[in-house]
Chain A
Amino acid sequence: MNLLLIEDDRDAAGYLVKALAEAGYQVDHAADGRDGLFQATEHTYDGIVADRMLPHLDGLTIIEILRKQGNRTPVLILSALGSVDHRVEGLRAGGDDYLTKPFALSELLARIEALLRRGQVSPAPEMKLRLADLEMDVLARTVTRAGRRIEVTAREFKLLEYLLRRAGQVVTRTMLLEGVWDLHFDPQTNVIDVHLSRLRQAIDKGFDRPLIHTVRGAGYTLRVD
């Protein structure tokens, strides 16, 4: 997987390139907007991570130009501007996700992973999801594990669906809050953790192999060990 990082802050860019490379990505770096746009047009990337405020050409303009050219490469916007409005502006310009600085590296990696996977998903979403012996029928709204019916609340169903569609990926608390509750703020407490522990009770209790795993300092993941 190769990424383009457009970031004018050289120090920050250095750390990011290193961290992304450690996570297994091939990273190209552009230090200003114009260079970033050239590179994005000349090469094909699996994903672009672009700072919003850049010299010569700002991040949102780059995305708009790329989208007008028919370039659908997923873009994650990094920004020091963090209000809900800024986020909306970023997504309206054609960005796929928006992350406010400063952020935890784990948050960045989880979001890049989600972004790259999203690019591969077929346009019609699966209606029957499965992981090991856990099955979910999205239309019938049923969940079974090892053939046994599991009763979940509407919200737990949504939460589990979100995790199942991203099985194997790390999902952070803010991603869950955004994706499952459509809330774009930091609730400052462990509300999400409590929901996850409930879901865990419903899904994993009484089974030998747990499917919901906590990723320390990052979030959660649904996978077979």
Chain B
Amino acid sequence: MRTSALRLSVVYAASFAAALVLLVFVIYVLTTRFINAEVDTVIERDALSILEAYGRSGTRGIINELDLRERTFSRINAVYLVTDAEGFVIAGNLPAWPVMRGRDGRWVEFEIELREGGLETGRPVRAMVLEPGPGLRLLVGTDLSDRRDLGRRFAVAAGIGTLLVTLIALGIGYRQSQRILARVEAVSRTCKEIVGGNLAGRLPISGDDDEFDTLAIEVNSLLARLARTTEILRTSLHSAAHDLRSPMHRMRLRMEQALGEEQATGSAGDAATGAQRDTLELLLRDVDQMQRVLTALLQIAEAESGTVGARPEPVNLDVMLDELGELYQPQAEQQGISLVVGCAPGSRVLGHRQLLAQAVANLIDNALKFTPSGGRVELRTQVADGRLAISVADSGPGIPAEDRTRAVEPFVRLSNAPPRDGSGLGLNLAAAVARLHGGSLRLEDNQPGLVARLELPVGAPSGATSIDRA
């Protein structure tokens, strides 16, 4: 998050600084152009008045005119020079005709070397060269060093200013983006907790009455509704469980009671009471079957709706899978199936141990049920891309491709035939448990056979926050 805040503020400050530099540059160019034009106008006007003086009284007129300027407050930084046909200086404040650096028609530019306090300095001059009469050369110019200094000062000031403003922008930007990111993080943390089943979590409201608060209030009201709906669902599931189990309980007790009386009073070998016994025992088996289906349905409903009350806790999957493998090993051997367990050590997820164990047990149970004697069932784990996959692969007949996705959807059954033992909902429950943990159950072709792949995120969604609080 920190690096993200820094990156954001650097990007903002950099774009801000770039805009500022552009602005200063444009101002600089426009101002320089204006000042340059002003310099040229002044020189032109000055030159004109000198030419006028020449027109009135010839070379003498120019000398008088320049002399007058030297004695009065004429324009500042003015540079003059008049030379005759031989190149001798007639008048002006330059010692000799300068070496030109640039020429553009009448306009020239050069530097005057001056000694100022023992230092050689060059002063740039812009000037106009005219030939008022035959052999006569007149130079009217302006010392530009003030303007040059102004430009330098402007550049320095602009540089320091831009730097300061950029630093301030960087600081403010960093603080702002940190604040924004902190709030975004708070939102995402709360959302993660809520996904993990803590519907009591609410987004923090800063009281600044900004867009974030508006968003938080909206999301919170949504959460409140969700929590209410979930609570209603939880209550109805429980009352359904209670209302169905209580009569089943009485039913089972009555049957056992009747069976007990039968045992006490009925004489052995009596055909009629024997038939009644068989009926009662079949009924008992039906009640047990009903209970198994009911329990599985309720578990699926709880897992799918996220109404599992307990907090997730760290589960050592490799230990759990080894134990489950060991639990089913004797049965596999009895069926003539080789059950191979290969789990990467140290795979931990946050979750509900009993539900995960039951999900995997259902997958193993399913694999053993459909694998013929001499076959092979493999229980393995793999970690890739932050997801942990528990795979149960068998060498049985498999499931046709078109049925594989359907088989793991809630409450979907592939065959309408009643299950012989178990609830017949083993795969559905495993899929529901996977979804509860933010994962998925996928059925794939094992060529031949079926691979059930239960994928779980390694740092499960509800994350460390749940442990911290526990």
Interface residues of A, Cβ cutoff 8 Å to B: 9, 11-12, 15-16, 18-19, 22, 53, 80-85, 88-89, 100-105, 155, 181, 183-191, 194-195, 197-198
Contact A194 B334 (CB under 8 A): yes
Contact A19 B256 (CB under 8 A): yes
The number of A-B residue pairs with CB atoms under 8 Å apart is 110
Interface of chain B residues 255 through 298 with chain A (CB within 8 A) = 256-257, 260, 287, 291-292, 295, 298
User: Min CB distance, B414 to chain A, in Å?
Assistant: 18
Using an 8 Å CB-CB cutoff, how does the interface string of B238-250 with A read, 1 for contact, 0 for none? 1001100110111
**Most B-side CB within 10 Å, residue of A85, A104, A185:** A185
Contact B254 A183 (CB under 8 A): no
User: Min CB distance, A112 to chain B, in Å?
Assistant: 15
Task: Tell me if B358 is interfacial: C-beta within 8 Å of chain A.
Answer: yes
17 extra interface residue pairs, beta carbon distance < 8 Å, beyond A81-B238, A84-B354:
A15-B257, A16-B253, A53-B242, A80-B242, A80-B249, A82-B298, A84-B310, A85-B309, A102-B251, A102-B287, A102-B291, A103-B249, A183-B354, A185-B361, A187-B327, A189-B365, A195-B327
Contacts of A100 in B (CB 8 A): 245, 295
- Taking CB as reference atom, which chain B residue is nearest A82? B295
A-B residue pairs in contact (CB < 8 Å), sample of 8: A11-B250, A11-B254, A19-B260, A89-B309, A102-B245, A102-B249, A187-B365, A189-B422
Contacts of A191 in B (CB 8 A): 327-328, 330-331
- Given A12-B250, A102-B287, A102-B291, A189 and B310 touching (CB < 8 A)? no
Task: Tell me if B308 is interfacial: C-beta within 8 Å of chain A.
Answer: yes
Contact B257 A101 (CB under 8 A): no
User: Min CB distance, A95 to chain B, in Å?
Assistant: 16
- Given A187-B361, A191-B327, A9 and B354 touching (CB < 8 A)? no
Task: Tell me if B302 is interfacial: C-beta within 8 Å of chain A.
Answer: yes
Task: Tell me if B355 is interfacial: C-beta within 8 Å of chain A.
Answer: yes
Contacts of B423 in A (CB 8 A): 188
Docked complex Cα distance between A190 and B326 (Å): 14
Contacts of A15 in B (CB 8 A): 250, 253-254, 256-257
Contact A80 B246 (CB under 8 A): yes
- Given A105-B253, A185-B357, A186-B295, A85 and B245 touching (CB < 8 A)? no
User: Min CB distance, B276 to chain A, in Å?
Assistant: 17
User: Min CB distance, B24 to chain A, in Å?
Assistant: 68
User: Min CB distance, A188 to chain B, in Å?
Assistant: 4
Contacts of A184 in B (CB 8 A): 354
